Amino acid sequence: MLDLGRFTAPLTFSGLALFSGVLSVPGAMAAAQAQIAPEAITIAQATANLTEAQQDRLDDLLIRGEELVEAGQRTEAIAVYREAAQIDTRNARLFSGIGYLQSQLGDYAAAADAYRVAIELDPSSTAFRYGLAHSLFQQENYGAAAEVYRAIIALDRRQENAYLGLAAVQAQQGDTAASLDTYRRLAEVAPVNAEVYLALGQHYLGEANYDQAFTYYQRAANLAPNRAAVYIGLADIAIAREQSDIALDHLKRAVAVDPRNAMAQFQLGQLLFERGDRQAAYDPLARAVDLDDSLTGALALLGELQLERENYIQAIFTYRKVVAALPDDPGAHYNLGLALWGQGQRRGAISTLNTAKTLYQNQDDLAGADRAAELLDLWERIR
């Protein structure tokens, strides 16, 4: 039998590199935004002096709107709440509810407009301002989002999420010094907030200041011992210091405290793979993909292991996902071709390998193109 495992091709994308636990600026922003996303819709009772007929109509609309929201019919719910807002024009929560639903639909410009009306009606609400900041960020209007976060802090200097949001926006703008200053201000305001130490640890890790990063991650670990992100960060530091055994211990701890953390599972499998323990790497990589099949690096490694095990049907399924994510990666097409050949789909295998060969040639990878050509010749001889 032809040993296909020894023919596998490396993928050209960078997703397989170790040290992938560092949360990038977009990742940090996403983490901050996840904590300060708009509040779920909560509609208050009428705020205006209404006639009995108006009150009855408003009650009916609020009930209907709630039913539509529960049914997932957001567009219809928005129309109902807009009609309600025409009756009760001073109800800030009606407008914030409309903003929330608009953000759920991805119409962040309309969401921002609705939140602005809500803030005008109730300037003291920080919840409405968080909704506005979220909507502005999603539009990449980072300067305006930063101003909203500053306004929240001005209203209440103990609003920890506002500091996190502001620091993340500043990092997105490339103003590292301002971002660090905001994190340090948060550490003064909320010295037991683990998020600030995680963020500072991530920053210094990205700057290769491993001693400083380690200090902040240790503080985060003391405050939040059940956070997988803490141990992922500590593992990244250990990998950078070439302390593979220590990194492995940290990643095992990460998946122990949060088995459903896809990134922790991925990095554990990745490290085991790089250490040569491919048998042990299989399960965490498979769990990572089950939890998040957009982790292309995990898919690529898992596919290689499936090829080695001659699990060709699974490898085909895995590599089709890799090819969908990386259509211009010749290695992805090459390995998919191997899986197809192993499963007996010879015509599809040859077509896919020809695609890989063309991509190698287009990218001036002569060694890759030669490897694909040699395998195609071999297949032609044994067909």
Q: What pLDDT, in 10s, does the model give residues 86-100?
A: 999 999 999 999 999
With a cut of 80, say whether residue 3 has pLDDT above it.
no
SS3 46: coil
With a cut of 80, say whether residue 169 has pLDDT above it.
yes
Candidate from 45-59, 107-121, 159-173, 243-257 with smallest mean pLDDT: 45-59
Of residues 26 and 166, the one with the higher pLDDT is 166
How many helices (H) and strands (E) are present in the chain, helices listed first?
20, 0
Confidence of residue 382 (pLDDT cuts 50, 70, 90): confident
CA atoms within 13 A on the CB side of 348: 12
With a cut of 80, say whether residue 71 has pLDDT above it.
yes
Task: State the Cα–Cα distance between residues 95 and 117, nearest whole angstrom.
Answer: 7
SS3 247: helix
Tokens standing for residue 2: 């032809």
Map tokens 């990244």 to a residue. 236
Confidence of residue 333 (pLDDT cuts 50, 70, 90): very high
pTM: 0.76
Q: How far is CA 165 from CA 35, 114, 142, 241, in A?
A: 9, 20, 10, 31
Of residues 302 and 25, the one with the higher pLDDT is 302
Tokens standing for residue 187: 């550490």
Candidate from 52-61, 122-131, 206-215, 273-282 with smallest mean pLDDT: 52-61
Of residues 1 and 354, the one with the higher pLDDT is 354
With a cut of 70, say whether residue 48 has pLDDT above it.
no
Average pLDDT on 31-43 reads 51
Instruction: Classify residue 174 as left (phi > 0), alpha (psi -120 to 50) or beta.
Output: left
Confidence of residue 40 (pLDDT cuts 50, 70, 90): low
Tell me the pLDDT of the chain averaged across its residues.
Answer: 89
With a cut of 70, say whether residue 2 has pLDDT above it.
no
170 membership: H or E segment, kind and range: helix 160-172
CA atoms within 13 A on the CB side of 357: 15
With a cut of 60, say whether residue 230 has pLDDT above it.
yes
With a cut of 50, say whether residue 150 has pLDDT above it.
yes
Confidence of residue 20 (pLDDT cuts 50, 70, 90): very low
Candidate from 39-43, 96-100, 127-131, 212-216 with smallest mean pLDDT: 39-43
CA atoms within 13 A on the CB side of 197: 23
Map tokens 């060709």 to a residue. 312
* CA 58 to chain CA centroid, nearest Å: 40
| Domains of the chain from N-terminus onward | 23-156 (1.25.40.10), 191-292 (1.25.40.10), 299-383 (1.25.40.10)
With a cut of 80, say whether residue 19 has pLDDT above it.
no
Average pLDDT on 168-194 reads 93
Task: State the Cα–Cα distance between residues 383 and 381, nearest whole angstrom.
Answer: 6
Confidence of residue 363 (pLDDT cuts 50, 70, 90): very high
At 38 the pLDDT is 58
Give whichever of 7-11, 154-158, 255-259 has the largest mean pLDDT.
255-259
At 380 the pLDDT is 87
Tokens standing for residue 55: 């009150």
With a cut of 70, say whether residue 285 has pLDDT above it.
yes
Q: Which pLDDT tens digit goes with each residue over 113-143?
A: 999 999 999 999 999 999 999 999 999 999 9
